Amino acid sequence: MLRKGEFVCPTGLEISTKVECGRAFGYVKWTYGQLQNKRILQEGPWNGVPFGCSIQFGLPSDATYYQDYSPHWNTKADTSNSRSVNNEFVTICKQPSQDVYVMLPKGSSECCCNKKILTSAECGKAYAQLQRNNPHLQNKRNLQIGGWNGVPYGCSIQYGLFGDSYFQDYSPHWNSNKATNNARRDNFEFISICKA
Beta bridge partners of 145: 174
CA 8 to chain centre: 22
Q: Which domain holds residue 64?
A: 18-91
Q: Which of 91, 109, 132 is the last residue of a domain?
A: 91
Q: Is 145 helix (H, G, I), strand (E, B) or coil?
A: strand
Q: Is residue 4 part of a domain?
A: no
Give dist(CA 73, CA 155) in Å, integer: 42
The answer to whether residue 6 is domain-embedded is no
What is the predicted pLDDT for the residue at 5?
64
Q: Are 71 and 54 in contact (CB under 8 A)?
A: yes
What's the structural domain count of the chain? 2
Reported pTM? 0.52
Distance from C-alpha of 80 to C-alpha of 99, rounded to nearest angstrom: 36
pLDDT at 2: 58
Query: Residue-wise pLDDT tens for the chain (196 aa)?
Result: 655 667 788 888 889 999 999 988 887 887 666 678 899 999 999 999 999 999 998 888 888 888 899 999 999 999 999 998 888 999 998 876 667 888 888 777 778 878 899 999 999 988 988 887 777 888 899 999 999 999 999 999 999 888 888 888 999 999 999 999 999 999 999 999 998 8
| Single-letter amino acid code for the residue at 16 | S
Could you give the CA distance from residue 54 to residue 163 in angstroms, rounded to a whole number?
A: 56
Shared domain for 75 and 38, answered yes or no, is yes
Residue finishing a domain among 91, 121, 138: 91
